[in-house]
Amino acid sequence: MCDYRYFFPINVSYSDIDAQGHVNNTRYGTYIESARLAYLQHLGLWDGEDFQQLGVIVADVHITYRLPLFYGQQIEVGARVSHIGSKSLKFEFIIRDAESKAICATGETINVGFDYTKEVSTPISTHWRNIIGEFEGQPFS
């Protein structure tokens, strides 16, 4: 859990709270989505502007909930790539309290290479492998 190199800060919004008074489980999904996109931007793999050039599509999401999140809470979402296959990446996430660092949730997503203009899946390029491998300090050859 300790070796996330990228964290994305989020301030929990009222619009994330559901009828039970906590952040809705599906909003955790938007938090890890925000972190994943910001990670790709941080590494220069997406410009944050052209949604057709995002390069990957979500194939699988798995989130484990440990602690409720509350309105106004400052959290930070750790994101990293733990595996790169021929056509997909595996991302891992933690959501933790920004102050106490208590882990509130963990998650994984599988993201498949995807060309949104042609609507076809694509291999993960050598360029992505190199950039991500360098950032994570781990070869993805």
Residues that bind its own copies (CB under 8 A): 13-15, 17-21, 24-27, 29-30, 33-34, 37, 41, 48-49, 51, 54, 57-65, 70-72, 116
Shortest distance in whole angstroms from residue 135 CB to its own copies? 20
Closest CB to its own copies among residues 50, 134: 50
Closest CB to its own copies among residues 100, 141: 100
In angstroms, the first-to-last Cα distance of the chain is: 23
Closest CB to its own copies among residues 13, 130: 13
Contact 47, 116 (CB under 8 A): no
Nearest by Cα to 127 from 140, 116, 111: 140
Closest CB to its own copies among residues 113, 140: 113
What DSSP string describes 69-84? --TT-EEEEEEEEEEE
Shortest distance in whole angstroms from residue 137 CB to its own copies? 27
Output the six-digit token pair for 14.
């009222």
Shortest distance in whole angstroms from residue 114 CB to its own copies? 9
Distance, in Å, from the CA atom of 14 to the CA atom of 101, rounded to the nearest integer, reads 22
